[in-house]
Structure 1
Amino acid sequence: MLKNIKSKDKKIPKTPPIKGKEVNNKQNKAKPAKASKDKGKGLLPKNKRVLVLMGAALLIVIMGSVQAIIMLTSQKKGESDEKAEVAPTYYFSKEEDISSVTEIVGARDFKKLEASEASSEAETKETVDQTTESSSGTASQTSGLEASYKYLHVEDTSADIKSYMDYLEEKKNFINITDKSEQPESGQPSSEETPKTSSEFYQLAGPSKDSASYLSITLESEVDSYTVTTSKESQPWSTYFKDQWNQQKKIIADFEKLPKATNTIEQAEDAVRTLSQEKLGLAEASDSYEFIASPGISKIGGKNYYTVRTYKRQPDSTLIYIATYLFDYETSNVAFQYDEVTGKTTPLG
């Protein structure tokens, strides 16, 4: 019995806890759970993100450069467009129908002169005008419509000037009012007689659509360029034309080179005027036309002639060129009609 009692009182030993597991549990409690390695797989790695940022920055720089280039190019283009000058098609106005130099001789480098640049040309023209006024006794005033055009880098300035003068005289009824004593005998510039280094100056006048005015054009050359100055003068063309003719008659009277003879310009005009309408081939009676002989003698086909131009007066008092006739200086006969453009002569009926 006692043994049994003792065995009952005997304490059963407790199982001691495993220290290793407790330590592990503590460590597990102390350390937070690690982030999953799969988390963030959608994001770019650090080095790739740097490359993307650098690429974006480079793209911005390129776009900015392109915009800057476009702006500079457009600005330069705008400046060049402003500086580029287009040569005129007509002088004065389209209504006057006077073609510019480039319409006759072809394209040329061009510059329109401002008032200050054209001052020297204007002074030269004023000197010529004063000489004309003093000799004719009639003064003309510029109406203010004056402009100067310079044509640059011209290989043969004399050829250009001659072609344009031919156009004005033959097509537009202009007359050469340059001082003949300073020009070749023919009144035209010659590339053979005039060195390219010397300057040439010519002044021409012609009818205007405005009956109260006439047109003036001066041509002045330099080494490889020439200047065209246009002005509209406040004097009726018919009055100015007659004044010029009186002046030319005085000059012709002093020409020592001309053959001595009894016939004169007046006789040449009268000889043509007295011919019948049928003989001259005119559409109306002869007395409805005006006959004006050109100063000087023209040598055509080896013979000396006065050239007598025929004009028809319009209601606005302007004169329209009709035809040219040849008055034989030796025989005082009017035998031919003369085409000043082609040089062809046609016997009168």
Structure 2
Amino acid sequence: MNVQKVLDQTVTELGIPGIVAEVKDGDRTWFGTAGVADIQTGSPRRPGEHFHGGSSGKAFTAATLLSLEAEGGLSLDDTVNAHLPGVLDVNGYDGDKITIRHLLSNTSGLFATGLAPEISYRYATRSGFDRHRFDTFGTGELLRVAVSKPPVGTPGERFEYANGGFYIAGAIIEKITGNGYAEEVESRVVRPLGLAHTWVRAQGETGYPEPHPRGYSQQFLKDGADPATMTPENWQSLMEEPGLPPMDVTEFNSSAGYAAGNVVTTTGDMIRFFNAMTTGSLLPPAQHRQMWTTVSTEGSYWMPHSRYGLGLFEFDKQATGGQTLRGVGGSIWGSFCFVVGTSDGRHTVAVHTNTEWKSWDPMFQVIEAEFGISIGA
């Protein structure tokens, strides 16, 4: 099966409105689409579209902190209290034991931030999302959200995907530099890599420049479901029944993403960014090695057959037949993207759908079609 067939199949079988894939393989480039950018007009997806990168922004945060470490401004083994005294010393957390490395590798023991009532009650249902889509979150509020529920483990004990750790990481960037998070990402990552169509969204930004697809969501709880009862184990059973029409969520304030994921980008820019991260062309060797020092995600409810570095992931070599394949990705209302490629940066594919994550199948099928590897087989 080739990549175009995977795109077509994804639209017909998963009900995704539209999908694009951009491939760079040595001197070969390819771009394919399926479905539509706009359900109402039927306009097609096209190259160069701007979209929200979701948790792909975590890698931008990690790269920024590693750049600061290379300059001697901090160490990843610094504790949170060394830079933000007291922020973590609530609800059973200990800021003298949680390090920046723990935050960036999702091993801090922080709970899954999306389960915080301040987040889930606003956006868990269609009516809630529509009512709160333009709400703005400040850094102080997000730091409180990050520790609003007790720890799920001790620092370094295990992997637990937590946006809150990256909220704290973003605040550390601002404390050390005296500049805004977006400004530091721009100067340390975006500008050096020439990412002309990538930026951290301003707090009041709610739309996208042309071209862009409309974003659609079906990621809502059933009517009457209580978000307070949602856990990483039972959340799927609380979701809406399939078959309901998608909700247009294109315009919304994504400030709740902050340093955990609030980057607007394109597939082309994501390939350029990812290749710099996987080859080490942006960071010094010591920091590059740290970015790709991975921890197991086994036992978590994250992506199977993978290990997590600092904001990026690597597939288990047992699952890839010994080949090193790395990636970055993210999902948010109305948008899901991933980039997967070889460690030498020569062969990379970037994919975007104008709805949130529905299944790991499209990623694994694209990998099989483009790289000839069946993940986990």
User: TM tier, shorter chain?
Assistant: under 0.3
Structure having the higher Rg: 1
Larger strand proportion of the pair:
1
Higher relative contact order (CA 8 A, sep 6+): 2
Q: TM-score, normalised by structure 2?
A: 0.25
